[in-house]
RNA sequence: GCCUGGGUGGCGGAAUAGGUAGACGCAAGGGACUUAAAAUCCCUCGGUCCUUAGUGGCUGUGCGAGUUCAAUUCUCGCCCUAGGCACCA
């Protein structure tokens, strides 16, 4: 142990030592209980950012802690390596996506190693490798076979000028990000996974995930969006056609006065044919389809529609209802048709007023009447039904089921459940993704590739095209193939690739047997490790990634490949890493190091102008409010970086980055370092004390008890709630106490007690600052890693206080305190409280009405 | 608009089966050491009041009510803020 703590030397030494000894490798062959700890794997974008540092630090602490607790811990890491940024980088720097990706992976792996994370690197996976995606393609074939995957026509964002499909994030306020021209909706045949088949099950199990934050399950529930209602058929006048609608308010069906169809509804054009409205309707549909997405971004989207010229009949009262097509009706939800009840729905009310349509009240409040002529807004509350035939006088809520039954009986409708969740569109008209393993044949249609022909390799030598469109359709050697069905030579391979969320929906299973060559995974390994005991990641994945993974797990279970339904037993969503933004009136956003000065008085290094300090926001490249982890590693080292990430805030909360806080963390480590060195001569050959506290006296006894108390606090803080900030505080308190104690060197147990305290500090800190702890552990004479040492255990008898502090209140206000021995009876404590001078002053000879004694804590005297 | 979190010193944050509000750290101020500085160590640190400077009084956890001997903690109503969803029929 050197005189001065030098993180550079210490960290390099232990990282190479861990690497050589293979300390972090694990296998299923173990007598210990398994624990699978997983952090969300990163996209290899170039270098790691503070969000990764925080996420992986939290995970590493838990992994190391669980190992010391005696678990066989699986803690893997890999790369979510397919995706668009690789293509963009390829276009702008003329490097191939594969080269760019693998270079990034190498660099980021090196960075993660510098952080000292305890990954079993033998299990590393990169989803862009054929060994990985071939099994994804295999699974796709199974899903196709089972009807989990299907093809349908659907809309994509399309830029006419770039001639390319755009992802949602490439559409900025309705315009193409590259050329700024308007984006329109284009219909393409695309692949989907039928996640809606599992909507009910996914929803129901949201309430069976006690280890998940309620916030996340709530978000998932809302996303799935179950509505219970009814489907009702409205016959079209003079036509052999029925329009089904979905409604949650079948109690208001007698008040439906018009109908609205989505502009994309297949009946719209047909209905308007020959009515004189046809031209109007065509124009409207065309205009809305162009506007669609761009206007969605704009608030207060104006509701509008046009009359189709056709009418339908309300099946419960034979009312003639005009059929409109309206921009607010969504083809993707329900049936794409809405029965409009203007009296009881605000949107329908506004629409009826705008187009002068009839309003019929069918639910009235208990204590007043409604007059359509004077209503200024829809009445959406509950009440008594009127104008509703045989249902008049019934409470509307209670009528819901009766009306559904009535509709069913009459053959015009039935009770139905509708979900907001839509099927998962997995087609991407992109290059850098896993090819979808099917072939198009003029004779056979869509034909799945033979299993033995997998993987369908993504050609890695394709040249990227300037506009961003996929080069795959242009590569004859890729697209031209023999039909697996009929053998014709002129079949064409599918050129869509899969959404990258597909890769991340099963990678956690692949980690269990990452090199397995005969299937997705080795079932034995998966049976042993899965499900993931603790998953950790950003809350931004609360819906899609987690929901898709839950869906995939259900598919795998139905395929008989796994035994569980839910992949992640416990979930921790860590908060964002934030920092204030700094902007210069001339140069815009600045990196923190581009401004000089302190706090509010900072100036731009380039032009000397005073800069504007903005609000604290999530670190992002675009706002430039980022701290480069490399800078921290160079200046303070990995341990200090880890310590600060954990100390500044509890994990689920946002963390505001502040360099002075980092200094404080570094100071603490040097403080511990010096403490150990100061005592080294005394404790080098001592044994760790483990006797009863009764054997000790005075300061030494206090220190011994405080050490046990600290072990207790740290263990609970980590085990029960992952509150590392308070765990670190507890150790700091112990360190502070040791600085305050003067050793006399005349008590024989002294060296042993001090050694026990120091060993405990090192063990408790070791998951947090592993290199630092290894170094001290070694200097205490241990030859094996601190990670292999058992987690310290506290003695219950050392937690018992020698005396307890009683606080005395008079009428609820604190007036005095005193210490008593823990075995004092309530009466003695009461006596003592009543005889206290300050207490007497406040009782002031008044009648004492009541004295409340809370055991071992407090006395409250009420006058 | 709807659904979730969250509002505590100058700052990050502690403390909730209701029982000493402000642990721990940062910043700030003072002191010790030093020729000096850095580093280190010690002390003070919510506001306010006092002819008694204390183990002192009053006040204080977004605002306003309520329950209770006692409320940061429970209930009701507001305000602010972050995130999610948003024409979902």
Whole-model pTM over 0.80: yes
Q: Residue A817 CA to B60 C1' — how many Å?
A: 21
Q: What average pLDDT score do residues A536-540 get?
A: 90
Q: Is the CB of A282 under 7 A from strand B?
A: no
**Which pLDDT score, from 0 to 100, does residue A482 have?**
92
- The burial class, CB within 10 Å (0-12 / 13-18 / 19+), for A402 is middle
The strand ranges marked E within A378-468 are: 384-385, 413-419, 424-425, 427-428, 438-441, 445-448
pLDDT in tens, A656-695: 888 888 999 999 999 999 999 999 988 888 888 988 888 8
CA-to-CA separations, A377 to A258, A644, A762, in angstroms, rounded: 17, 55, 68
Give the strands of the sheet with A226-235, arranged side by side.
A242-247, A226-235, A413-419
pLDDT in tens, A125-172: 999 999 999 999 999 999 999 999 999 988 888 877 777 777 766 776
Q: What average pLDDT score do residues A762-766 get?
A: 97
Quick check: A213 and A652 in contact, CB under 8 A?
yes
Q: Residue A830 CA to B48 C1' — how many Å?
A: 33
**Which pLDDT score, from 0 to 100, does residue A291 have?**
66
The residues of A between 517 and 556 with beta carbon within 7 Å of nucleic strand B are 539-540, 543
Handedness of CA A756, A759, A761, A767 (dihedral sign): negative
Three-state secondary structure call for residue A157: strand
CA distance A244 to A231: 6
Q: What average pLDDT score do residues A88-115 get?
A: 93
Q: Is the CB of A354 under 7 A from strand B?
A: no
Three-state secondary structure call for residue A420: coil
Quick check: A365 and A282 in contact, CB under 8 A?
no
Q: Is the CB of A739 under 7 A from strand B?
A: yes
Quick check: A839 and A810 in contact, CB under 8 A?
yes
The residues of A between 407 and 426 with beta carbon within 7 Å of nucleic strand B are 418, 420
**Looking at the DSSP assignment, which residues form a beta bridge with residue A226?**
A419
Q: Residue with CA nearest B41 C1'? A: A739
* Geometric angle at alpha carbon A749, from A748 and A751, rounded to 5°: 95
pLDDT-derived band at A754 (thresholds 50, 70, 90) equals very high
CA-to-CA separations, A480 to A266, A431, A494, A848, in angstroms, rounded: 35, 17, 10, 97
The residues of A between 596 and 615 with beta carbon within 7 Å of nucleic strand B are none
| Nucleotide closest in space to A662 (CA vs C1') | B26
- The burial class, CB within 10 Å (0-12 / 13-18 / 19+), for A624 is middle
CA-to-CA separations, A324 to A63, A244, A262, A337, in angstroms, rounded: 60, 15, 9, 10
The residues of A between 808 and 827 with beta carbon within 7 Å of nucleic strand B are 809, 811-817
A337: pLDDT strictly greater than 70 = yes
The residues of A between 239 and 278 with beta carbon within 7 Å of nucleic strand B are 245-249, 262
- Mean pLDDT for all residues in chain A: 90
Most confident segment among A54-68, A478-492, A747-761: A54-68
Estimate the share of chain A in helix, then strand, then coil, as percent rounded to the nearest 5: 40, 20, 40
pLDDT in tens, A421-445: 999 999 998 899 999 999 999 999 9
Quick check: A111 and A630 in contact, CB under 8 A?
yes
| Nucleotide closest in space to A733 (CA vs C1') | B24
CA distance A183 to A180: 9
| Nucleotide closest in space to A218 (CA vs C1') | B4
CA distance A527 to A518: 16
Quick check: A46 and A104 in contact, CB under 8 A?
yes
Q: Is the CB of A338 under 7 A from strand B?
A: yes
Quick check: A583 and A612 in contact, CB under 8 A?
yes
A295: pLDDT strictly greater than 70 = no
**Which pLDDT score, from 0 to 100, does residue A332 have?**
86
CA distance A231 to A248: 9
Q: Is the CB of A235 under 7 A from strand B?
A: no
CA-to-CA separations, A47 to A91, A124, A628, A629, in angstroms, rounded: 19, 17, 9, 9
Q: What average pLDDT score do residues A1-11 get?
A: 92
Q: Is the CB of A333 under 7 A from strand B?
A: yes
Q: For strand B, give the nucleotides within 7 A of a protein CB.
A: 3-5, 11-15, 19-21, 23-27, 39-42, 55-59, 69-71, 82-89
DSSP character at residue A395? B
pLDDT-derived band at A623 (thresholds 50, 70, 90) equals confident
Q: Residue A681 contacts by C-beta under 8 Å, 6 or more apart in sequence?
A: none
More confident residue, A302 or A599: A302
Most confident segment among A157-161, A246-250, A590-594, A611-615: A246-250
**Which pLDDT score, from 0 to 100, does residue A293 have?**
55
Q: Residue with CA nearest B87 C1'? A: A328
DSSP character at residue A148? S
* Geometric angle at alpha carbon A629, from A645 and A10, rounded to 5°: 80
Concatenating the DSSP letter of every residue in A287-343 gives HHHHHHHHHHTSSSPPP-EEEEEEEEE-TTT--EEEEEEETT--TTSTTSEEEE-TT
Q: How far is CA A646 from the centre of its chain?
A: 19
**Which pLDDT score, from 0 to 100, does residue A863 have?**
82
pLDDT-derived band at A297 (thresholds 50, 70, 90) equals very low
DSSP character at residue A70? T
Per-position b or e across A625-641, b if 16+ CB within 10 A of its CB: bbbebeebbeebbbbbb
Concatenating the DSSP letter of every residue in A345-384 gives -HHHHHHHHHHT------EE-TT----TTT-SS---S--E
The residues of A between 618 and 647 with beta carbon within 7 Å of nucleic strand B are 647
Q: Residue A157 CA to B66 C1' — how many Å?
A: 55
pLDDT > 90 fraction of chain A, expressed in percent and rounded:
64
DSSP character at residue A182? B
Q: Residue A309 contacts by C-beta under 8 Å, 6 or more apart in sequence?
A: A271, A272, A275, A276, A277, A278, A281
pLDDT-derived band at A844 (thresholds 50, 70, 90) equals confident
Quick check: A436 and A191 in contact, CB under 8 A?
yes
For A141-149, which contacts have Cβ atoms below 8 Å and span 24 or more sequence positions?
A: A141/A437, A141/A448, A141/A449, A141/A451, A141/A454, A142/A559, A143/A193, A143/A555, A144/A438, A144/A448, A145/A448, A146/A555, A146/A558, A146/A559, A147/A194, A148/A193, A148/A194, A148/A197, A148/A555, A149/A191, A149/A192, A149/A193, A149/A194, A149/A426
Q: Residue A6 CA to B11 C1' — how many Å?
A: 29
**Which pLDDT score, from 0 to 100, does residue A753 have?**
93
CA distance A63 to A709: 23
A576: pLDDT strictly greater than 90 = no
Q: Residue A834 CA to B34 C1' — how many Å?
A: 54
Quick check: A543 and A213 in contact, CB under 8 A?
no
| Least-confidence region, from A87-101, A488-502, A515-529, A784-798 | A87-101
Q: Is the CB of A616 under 7 A from strand B?
A: no
Quick check: A470 and A430 in contact, CB under 8 A?
yes
pLDDT in tens, A351-369: 999 999 999 999 998 888 8
Joined tokens for residue A13: 């030494």
A585: pLDDT strictly greater than 80 = yes
**Which pLDDT score, from 0 to 100, does residue A300 have?**
56
pLDDT-derived band at A832 (thresholds 50, 70, 90) equals confident
Residues making up chain A, counted from first to last: 863
Cis peptide before A455 (omega within 30 of 0): yes
| Nucleotide closest in space to A326 (CA vs C1') | B87
Quick check: A788 and A773 in contact, CB under 8 A?
no
Joined tokens for residue A359: 């309003």
The residues of A between 424 and 483 with beta carbon within 7 Å of nucleic strand B are none
């Amino acid at each position: 142990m050197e005189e001065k703590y030098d993180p550079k030397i210490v960290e390099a030494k232990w990282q190479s030592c861990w690497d050589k000894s293979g300390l972090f490798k694990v296998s299923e062959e173990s007598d210990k209980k398994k624990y699978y700890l997983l952090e969300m794997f990163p996209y290899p974008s170039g270098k790691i950012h503070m969000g990764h540092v925080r996420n992986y630090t939290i995970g590493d602490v838990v992994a190391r802690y669980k190992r010391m607790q005696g678990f066989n811990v699986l803690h893997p890491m890999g790369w979510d390596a397919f995706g668009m940024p690789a293509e963009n980088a390829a276009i702008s720097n003329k490097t191939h996506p594969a080269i760019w990706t693998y270079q990034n992976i190498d660099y980021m792996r090196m960075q993660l190693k510098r952080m000292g994370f305890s990954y079993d690197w033998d299990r590393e996976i990169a989803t862009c490798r054929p060994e990985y995606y071939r099994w994804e393609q295999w699974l796709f074939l199974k899903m196709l076979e089972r009807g989990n995957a299907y093809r349908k026509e659907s809309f994509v964002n399309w830029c006419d000028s770039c001639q390319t499909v755009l992802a949602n994030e490439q559409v900025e306020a309705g315009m193409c990000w590259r050329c700024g021209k308007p984006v329109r909706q284009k219909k393409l045949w695309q692949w989907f996974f039928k996640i809606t088949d599992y909507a009910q099950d996914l929803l129901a199990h949201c309430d069976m995930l006690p280890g998940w934050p309620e916030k996340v399950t709530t978000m998932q529930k809302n996303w799935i969006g179950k509505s219970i209602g009814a489907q009702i058929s409205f016959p079209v006048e003079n036509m052999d056609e029925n329009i089904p609608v979905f409604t949650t308010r079948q109690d208001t069906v007698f008040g439906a006065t018009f109908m609205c169809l989505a502009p994309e509804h297949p009946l719209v054009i047909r209905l308007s044919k020959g009515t004189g409205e046809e031209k109007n309707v065509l124009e409207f549909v065309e205009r809305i389809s162009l506007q669609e997405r761009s206007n969605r971004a704009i608030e207060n989207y104006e509701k509008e529609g046009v009359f189709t010229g056709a009418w339908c009949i309300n099946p419960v009262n034979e009312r003639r209802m005009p059929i409109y097509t309206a921009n607010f009706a969504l083809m993707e939800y329900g049936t794409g048709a809405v029965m409009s009840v203007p009296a009881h729905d605000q949107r329908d009310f506004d629409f009826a007023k705008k187009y002068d349509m009839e309003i019929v009240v069918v639910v009235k409040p208990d204590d007043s009447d409604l007059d359509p002529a004077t209503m200024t807004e829809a009445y959406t509350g509950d009440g008594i039904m009127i104008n509703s035939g045989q249902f008049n006088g019934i409470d509307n809520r209670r009528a819901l089921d009766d009306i559904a039954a009535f509709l069913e009986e009459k053959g015009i409708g039935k009770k139905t459940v509708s979900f907001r969740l839509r099927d998962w569109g997995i087609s991407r008209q992109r290059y850098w993704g896993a090819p979808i393993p099917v072939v198009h044949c003029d004779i056979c249609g869509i034909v799945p590739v033979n299993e033995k022909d997998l993987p369908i390799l993504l050609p890695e030598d394709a040249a990227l095209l300037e506009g961003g469109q996929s080069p795959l359709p242009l590569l004859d050697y890729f697209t031209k193939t023999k039909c697996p069905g009929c053998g014709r030579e002129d079949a064409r391979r599918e050129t869509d690739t899969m959404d990258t969320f597909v890769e991340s929906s099963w990678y956690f299973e692949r980690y269990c047997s990452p090199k397995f060559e005969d299937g997705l995974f080795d079932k034995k390994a998966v049976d042993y490790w899965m499900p993931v005991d603790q998953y950790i990641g950003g809350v931004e994945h609360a819906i899609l990634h987690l929901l898709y993974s839950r869906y995939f797990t259900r598919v795998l279970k139905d395929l008989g490949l796994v035994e569980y339904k839910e992949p992640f037993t416990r979930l921790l969503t860590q908060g964002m890493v934030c920092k204030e933004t700094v902007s210069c009136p001339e140069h815009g956003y600045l990196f923190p190091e581009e401004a000089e000065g302190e706090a509010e008085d900072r100036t731009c290094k380039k032009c000397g102008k005073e800069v504007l300090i903005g609000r604290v926001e999530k670190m992002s490249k675009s706002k430039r409010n980022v701290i480069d982890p490399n800078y921290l590693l160079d200046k303070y080292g990995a341990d200090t970086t880890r310590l600060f990430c954990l100390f500044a805030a509890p994990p689920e909360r946002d963390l505001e980055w502040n360099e002075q806080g980092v200094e404080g963390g570094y100071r603490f480590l040097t403080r511990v370092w010096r403490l150990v060195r100061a005592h080294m001569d005394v404790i080098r050959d001592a044994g760790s004390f483990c006797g009863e506290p009764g054997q000790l006296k005075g300061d030494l006894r206090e220190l011994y008890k405080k050490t046990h108390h600290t072990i207790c606090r740290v263990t609970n803080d980590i085990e029960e709630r992952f509150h590392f900030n308070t765990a670190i505080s507890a150790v700091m308190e112990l360190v502070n106490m040791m600085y305050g104690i003067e050793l006399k060197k005349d008590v024989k147990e002294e060296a042993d007690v001090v050694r026990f305290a120091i060993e405990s500090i090192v063990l408790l800190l070791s998951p947090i600052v592993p290199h630092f702890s290894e170094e001290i552990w070694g200097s205490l004479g241990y030859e094996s890693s601190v990670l292999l040492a058992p987690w310290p255990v506290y003695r219950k008898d050392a937690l018992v206080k020698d005396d307890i502090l009683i606080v005395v209140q008079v009428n609820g206000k604190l007036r005095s305190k005193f210490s008593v021995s823990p075995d004092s009876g309530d009466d003695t404590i009461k006596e003592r409280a009543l005889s206290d001078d300050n207490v007497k002053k406040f009782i002031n000879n008044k009648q004492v009405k009541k004295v409340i004694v809370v055991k071992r804590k407090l006395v409250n005297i009420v006058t």
